[in-house]
Amino acid sequence: MFERLGRVIARHSKSVLVISLLTLIVAGAVGFQAFGKLDGGGYNDPQSESSQAFEYLKSEFKVEDPAVILLIDSPSSNVDDPKVRQTVDAITEKVSATPGVSKVISYWSTGSPQLLSEDRKAGYLFAYGTDDSFDGLSAIAKNVDDQVGNKYEGLSIYYTGTGAVGDAINTKIGDDLKKSEAIAIPLTFILLLFVFGGVIASAMPLVVGISAILGAFFIIYLLTLITDVSIYAMNLITGLGLGLGIDYSLLIVNRFREEFHNGKSIQDAVIRTVATAGRTVFFSGLTVLVTLASLLFFPLNFLKSFGYAGIAVVALAVIGALVPLPATLALLGTKIDKWAIRKASIAPRENGRWADLARFVMRKPLTITVLTLILLGILAAPIRNIAFGQTDVTVLPKTHPVAITSQIIDERFPGREATPVEFLFIDGAKNLSLEEISAYKERVRNIPGITNISENTRSNDIVRFQAIHKMSPRTADAQALIEEIRGIAAPAGLLIGGVAADYTDTQNGIAGALPMALGWVLISVLILLFAFTGSIILPIKAVLLNVLSLSATLGVITWIFIEGNLARFLGDFTITGTVDTGMIILMLLTTFGLSMDYEVFLLSRIKEEYEKSGDNTESVAFGLQKSARIVTAAALILSVVFAAFVLSGVTSIKILGLGVAFAILLDATVVRALLVPALMRMFGDTNWWAPAKLKRFSISH
């Protein structure tokens, strides 16, 4: 199949390139419309109990999330002072006049003591909006901040709430990504020149990368017509599109150079490249694709969106590497080596440092294996202290104004009035007596952490009350509170909602989907690697090595972001004792897919040589010599891109950047250069064993 594809591309390269270019223009023109249709939320489980409760609160009780919560502080006088009231009235007028604000409620308008600080010098003002979407709330919060500011006639004003926190995080991420790109892009360009060895060759990743990115934008646009897609999916598309563009271009260009430097004509070199390296790219892409497809198992639309984006960009990166890139090479021919700046990269050698390293490792395989496993074990050891949470205000630097607001609330307000636990008895007015509801409320009141219970309200037959609690709603403490509440005896028809319940249901939803997602990845990757290698042993070994590598990465993440080591070298971030669940899942699955990408690159050349010679040891040395430079170079470039994210002031982005960069480098060096050849030497010809009946389902190299 791949040889036939290579022949078609070699013979009709101009037509293939023109059709590819026209397709990209159309895809880009349509795909860029997706940006106006993307969603900024998607962090909760829409099928959960808390989501059901929220729907009832919206439809029956007309409950809205405040777009922004203002904490108005009078440093020198009581909030009931007439001058303070007069100033607050002026602030209220400004907030009410802000575009998008529908109503304003405050301590000064209601007199509710729940909206007052313990020292009576600060009070809450809630601003509600006409647009209750995540993006709408964020936009209103930004408008209010622009209108009012942080100081107003002697009063200090602090901001929090869904919109304010969302706008703060999104703005910080956007600003930080610009800084990261300003560093990563020039470094990447320099590394590309060095690795590809010439100016013309270093431009080849753009052929694959642009094909993948614009094509994926088009697919995401189509998806926005039928479902919500997170705006953050576009970051994965651009990052992964360029990353895979580099990986696949290195493999294709390297093989093309190898073939024509060995005496083949340009046309034959293209055919041979597609038949060999093209097949490797295809299987490599499939392993990454099925890995990222596991994100579709999770209930959060935020993670599902990364699944959509991952499938789209990987599939189109493979197509870009198999169609327009070989066509470009066919037209360039020997000009691919023009404007060379590093001739050692142009004609790959049969023997060299990588082959020498492989032979050294294979002379002492047991010693190398034991020492490497000890190193990985030491790195993984801190994982015993790992704990998971979700993105909230604590991902911002402690000095950020929104983070300071959270600290003030913790210190000066007795409870979290803005984020109560909601209790709804569906058909409670018909089916329950007041005594039953009161007895249940008393049981809730006695739970540690509850500071206040509201009076009952009613809409049609639904009875509602609220419980105010002390803890921040998106924390392990809040989850423990919700679990305790749900553990006490309750009348029939009860739904428990609110931010803390939403957090709990989201964590439980992720945990519930995790076994299915991991099972999908494990089975799919094992099947694909068996089909690619014809071995039972090699796929199992590849998965186990990946698990070791990722465990070491999680250990390092725990050691830094939970235990607080090296914090002063990584910028200002809050140590909360947890790491963001969704970001860790995204990091692990992305890294697992990319690691399998490199595994396929390596095994492809080893298997190809083994089928020729039948010599396991020399095949490993040959395979490492031919592919290790590609794998290491690709890993280095990609790690530079992700390492730049460590400069971000948002903790979850730091974790993603450091985690992916460290895992990729660890995998491409320690695992691929040491453990893989050592274990393959120890297993010998058994590496290639499989039952004869299954062998017919594998491909020949």
Domain ranges of the chain: 1-37+203-225+234-325, 63-167, 353-405+515-701, 406-504
Domain 406-504 in CATH 3.40.50: no
Name the token pair of 164.
């304010």
* Mean model confidence pLDDT for the chain: 87
| C-alpha span between 65 and 73 (Å, rounded) | 22
pLDDT (tens digit, 9 = 90+) per residue, 453-495?
Answer: 999 999 989 999 999 998 888 888 899 999 999 999 999 899 9
DSSP 407-440: HHHHHH-SS-TTSPEEEEETTHHHH--HHHHHHH
**Looking at residue 53, what is its pLDDT?**
94
Three-state DSSP at 253 gives helix
CA distance 25 to 33: 13
pLDDT at 701 over 60: no
Q: Which CATH superfamily is domain 1-37+203-225+234-325 in?
A: Multidrug efflux transporter AcrB transmembrane domain (1.20.1640.10)
- In this chain, the answer to whether the domains covering 1-37+203-225+234-325 and 63-167 adopt an identical fold is no
- Residue-wise pLDDT for 383-405, tens only, equals 999 988 887 787 888 888 888 88
d(CA 594, CA 363): 29
pLDDT tens digits, one per residue of 83-119? 999 999 999 999 999 988 989 999 899 888 888 888 8
Nearest in space to 7 (alpha carbons), one of 203, 206, 269: 269
Q: How far apart are CA 149 and CA 138, in angstroms?
A: 16
Q: What is the DSSP string of 130-192?
A: S--SHHHHHHHHHHHHHHH-SEETTEEEEEESHHHHHHHHHHHHHHHHHHHHHHHHHHHHHHH
How many other CB atoms are found less than 10 A from the CB of residue 638? 26
How confident is the model over 649-675, as pLDDT tens digits? 888 888 988 999 999 999 888 898 899
Rounded average pLDDT over 312-322: 94
The pTM for the full model equals: 0.85
**What are 13-70's pLDDT values in tens digits?**
889 889 989 998 999 889 888 877 777 677 788 889 999 999 999 889 888 778 899 9
Q: Which of 562, 174, 222, 579 is nearest to 389 (CA)?
A: 579
At a CB cut-off of 8 Å and minimum separation 6, what does 22 contact? none
Fold of 63-167: Alpha-Beta Plaits (3.30.70)
Strands, E, within 427-555: which ranges? 450-453, 457-459, 462-469, 494-497
Question: Residue 340: what are its φ and ψ, rounded to 5°?
Answer: -70, 140
Report the chain's terminal Cα–Cα distance, integer Å.
13
Band of residue 695 on the pLDDT scale cut at 50, 70, 90: confident
Residue 424 has pLDDT above 70, yes or no: yes
Q: What is the pLDDT of residues 337-384, one digit of tens each?
A: 777 676 655 555 666 788 888 889 999 999 999 999 999 999 999 999
Strand 579-580 and strand 388-389: the pairing is parallel
Contact call for residues 669 and 628 (beta carbons, < 8 A): no
As a whole number of angstroms, the distance between CA 600 and CA 71 comes to 56
Torsion region of 476: left, alpha or beta (phi above 0 gives left; psi -120 to 50 gives alpha)? alpha
Instruction: Find the helix or strand (DSSP H, E) in which 665 lies.
Output: helix 651-666
When comparing pLDDT for 332 and 548, which is higher?
A: 548
CATH 1.20.1640.10 is the classification of domain 353-405+515-701: yes
CA distance 588 to 295: 11
């026209």: which residue's tokens? 22
- Rounded CA gap, 606 and 589, in Å? 26
The mean-pLDDT minimum among 475-489, 515-529, 599-613 falls in 599-613
Residue 399 exposed, middle or buried by CB count within 10 Å (0-12, 13-18, 19+):
exposed
> Is a pLDDT exceeding 80 seen at residue 616?
yes
CA 338 – CA 345 distance, rounded (Å) = 12
Beta-carbon count within 10 A of 36 CB: 8
Q: What is the pLDDT of residue 305?
A: 92
pLDDT tens-digit profile of 557-567? 999 999 988 87
pLDDT value at residue 380: 96
Tell me the per-residue pLDDT of 195-237, one tens digit each, with 9 for 90 and over: 787 788 888 888 898 899 999 999 999 999 988 888 778 878 8
- As a dihedral over the C-alpha atoms of residue 353, residue 356, residue 358, residue 361, rounded to 10 degrees, the angle is -120
The DSSP element (H or E) to which 124 belongs, if any, is strand 122-129
Contacts of 545 (CB under 8 A, 6+ apart): 671, 675, 676, 679
Measured CA to CA, the distance from residue 205 to residue 185 in angstroms comes to 13
Q: State the DSSP code for 445.
A: H
For the stretch 445-458, pLDDT in tens is 999 999 889 999 99
Exposed (0-12), middle (13-18) or buried (19+): which is 583, by Cβ within 10 Å?
Answer: buried
Residue carrying the six token digits 């028809």:
493
Q: Rounded CA gap, 624 and 453, in Å? A: 67
- Percent of the chain surpassing pLDDT 90: 39
* pLDDT at residue 346, rounded to an integer: 55
Closest alpha carbon to 150 in 499, 350, 455, 402: 402
Of 160-164, 175-179, 457-461, 638-642, minimum mean pLDDT range: 175-179
Neighbours of 196 (CB within 10 A): 28
pLDDT band at 635; cut points 50, 70, 90: confident
pLDDT band at 309 (very low <50, low <70, confident <90, very high): very high
Q: Tell me whether strands 68-73 and 122-129 are parallel, antiparallel or unpaired.
A: antiparallel
The span from the CA of 27 to the CA of 7, in Å, is: 26
Assess contact for 157 and 150: CB atoms under 8 A: yes
State residue 190's pLDDT score.
85
Instruction: Name the token pair of 228.
Output: 């919500």
- Contact indicator for 238, 213 with CB cutoff of 8 Å: yes
Listed residue (56, 12, 178) closest to 462, CA to CA: 56
CA atoms within 13 A on the CB side of 445: 11
Q: Kindly state the percentage of the chain with pLDDT values over 70.
A: 97
Are residues 319 and 289 in contact, defined by beta-carbon separation less than 8 angstroms? no
The rounded distance, in Å, linking the Cα atoms of 72 and 204 is 56
Whether 514 has a pLDDT exceeding 90, the answer reads yes
At residue 130, φ and ψ (nearest 5 deg) are: -80, -20
pLDDT in the model for residue 591: 92
User: Do residues 434 and 482 make contact, with C-beta atoms less than 8 angstroms apart?
Assistant: no
